[in-house]
A = this chain, B = another copy of it.
Amino acid sequence: MALTVDLLNRADEAQFSEGLRGTYEHSPWVVERTYAARPFVTLAALKRAMVEVVRNATADEQLALIRAHPQLAGRAMQAATLTRESTDEQSRAGLTQCTPDELARIARLNADYDARFGFPFILAVRGPRGLGLSKAEIFATFARRLGHLPHFERAEALRNIHRIAEIRLDEKLAFSPVLGDRVWDWAEQLARHSDDGYGERGELTVTYLTNAHRAVAGQLAAWMRDECGFDEVSIDAVGNVVAVYHGGDRDVPRLLTGSHYDTVRNGGKYDGRLGVLVPMAAVRELARAGRRLPFGIEVVGFAEEEGQRYRATFLGSSALTGRFDGRWLDQADANGITMRDAMARAQLRVDDIAQLRRDPARYLAFIEVHIEQGPVLTEADIPLGIVTSINGSLRYAGEIVGMASHAGTTPMNGRHDAAAAAAEAVLHVEKRASQVPGVVGTVGMLDVPNGSINVVPGRCRFSLDIRAPEDRARDACAVDVLDAMQRICARRGVHLSIQETMRASAAPCDDAWRARWERAVAALGVPVHRLPSGAGHDAMKLHEVMPQAMLFVRGQNGGISHNPLESITNDDADLAVRAFAGLVDALAAERR
């Protein structure tokens, strides 16, 4: 008889342990302690309970758990300790059929890794889709993780252990994240299209109105029409892919959702696209079930958000809010092609852009699903997060001018060191931003122009980026930081010049719609974790005309983004589709 959450909830301790034996390698204590957390509302809740047991364990216990795992393709001495599960996992990755050269290489990597970290290299070799990583991927990951800092790598090892356990649990409970698999596979297929030159280098780059960009739009439209059962699918005058699944009555208001399908240069597969694919997967289920709701669902794949080809950003969502600036059309790309020409070549009708403006009265809200692009969820081991606000941001370019002088002959008390003043400023930014939750402050560029080893720095240039969930918190931080910089520079007898280069308002998510995301997430048995969005999103633009709320999905690999290592698991994608569907279901119940 197949194991179910229900059976586990009703099992005694021995049955429970037996049922989940081997989920965490050679570490039955994880299952034993999880027993106390019954009942579990879902498989996701069970997974979370086990994660919490490990998170609450002592550092020694965590280390023992890590060390309980076999080395990757380890030698005979480990054979005795290999569980059936780990043998199966390693064999799916081809690691049981290595050439002597590959074995030697793995042995060397294992030795280096053990010398550096003191525990075996642990990788969920079945990967984010559960099908098994290639040997090339495994080698690359191994080499990359050898460069990690020890404390980060230990956390990464535990995260891989949780992923291994997740896949084992899915199999034990005969669960297949089919909705997530669909989203994951769609994203993979879209990633085959890349701008000329980039794809050949194995990079993903899709910028506004290139051939690859048009191909992605066409593919999305085809899936929406042919696979998902949308009623209307079209590509609009700025290149947005727009799909409508009508409500029971065609004239009922619509729920607007979506995200962008363009990418940064050498970017990831999920930034933007996940927010198009998740609603597509949810609508597909509705259409297959023939369900009509008391509202329509309009999914938009925004053509442009990243500002890679032209200086303007958020072209797609700006068209919907009526803020598409006609002057942008005269901007030229690096090859001198104006946006107007690029649009004409793509057969987009510039004259129709004004008509893309949506009437807010016809929409309930805009909701957006997005990969987090940060480390918060992955460090908390939580698959979904509810966005509280899209942070407001301020950017500055600064320069400190002191007095260059001989490093050997200028006494410490006779210096006007521009870099030392900048150093003090950097630490003040860090300290001030840390004092208020949600506020972040960054000096990302820092440089002594033409510095010499034996010259006290006469100049130091730096950038400053401050963000906060509310404009007030952002501005208060900026005022304090700029004040402090002036004081630091005055005290040191150096001169500060600093210019504001960018200012974007915070977009707090609508309380009612945020609560709907929270209820949908809670119903899945996933902890409700709230976090601000540090990056800007299309929802920031729609915010100007209607309520908006966002759901974040955990990123793998430390949450890295704008990078080929950007990744999500099929299980997390599955939860995202279920959260979206749950919100839609609850909304339907509300409005009936």
Chain A residues near B (Cβ < 8 Å): 149, 151-152, 372-376, 379, 391, 393, 395, 403, 405-414, 416-417, 419-420, 422-424, 426-427, 430, 433-434, 439-448, 451-457, 460, 463, 465, 467, 493-495, 501, 533-536, 558-562
| Chain B residues positioned under 8 Å from A442 (CB to CB) | 407, 417, 453-456
For the complex of A and B, 6 pairs with smallest distance between CB atoms: A408-B534, A374-B409, A409-B534, A423-B423, A407-B442, A445-B451
The answer to whether B533 and A409 have CB atoms under 8 Å apart is: yes
Q: How far is B495's CA from A372's CA once the two chains are assembled, in angstroms?
A: 26
Given known contacts A420-B426, A420-B427, is B456 in contact with A444 (CB within 8 Å)?
yes
Copies in the complex: 2
| Chain B residues positioned under 8 Å from A423 (CB to CB) | 422-424, 426-427, 446
> Which residue, A152, A413, A448, A561, has most C-beta atoms of chain B within 10 A?
A448
Cβ contact of A427, chosen from B416, B427, B535, cutoff 8 A:
B427
Q: How far is B390's CA from A460's CA once the two chains are assembled, in angstroms?
A: 30
The answer to whether A446 and B457 have CB atoms under 8 Å apart is: yes
| Chain B residues positioned under 8 Å from A414 (CB to CB) | 375-376, 379
Closest to A147 in B: B401
Closest to A534 in B: B408
A512 to chain B, nearest CB (A): 25
> Which residue, A412, A440, A460, A561, has most C-beta atoms of chain B within 10 A?
A412
A485 to chain B, nearest CB (A): 13
Given known contacts A372-B409, A419-B426, A534-B406, is B440 in contact with A444 (CB within 8 Å)?
no
Q: How far is B431's CA from A424's CA once the two chains are assembled, in angstroms?
A: 12
| Chain B residues positioned under 8 Å from A454 (CB to CB) | 395, 442, 444, 465
| Chain B residues positioned under 8 Å from A373 (CB to CB) | 406, 409
The answer to whether B445 and A453 have CB atoms under 8 Å apart is: yes
Q: How far is B408's CA from A441's CA once the two chains are assembled, in angstroms?
A: 8
Cβ contact of A467, chosen from B395, B408, B430, cutoff 8 A:
B408
A-B contact pairs, 26 of them (CB 8 A): A152-B416, A375-B411, A391-B408, A395-B454, A407-B444, A408-B465, A408-B467, A408-B533, A408-B534, A408-B536, A410-B440, A411-B440, A412-B430, A412-B439, A417-B430, A417-B442, A422-B423, A422-B446, A444-B448, A444-B453, A444-B457, A446-B446, A446-B447, A446-B460, A447-B448, A453-B501
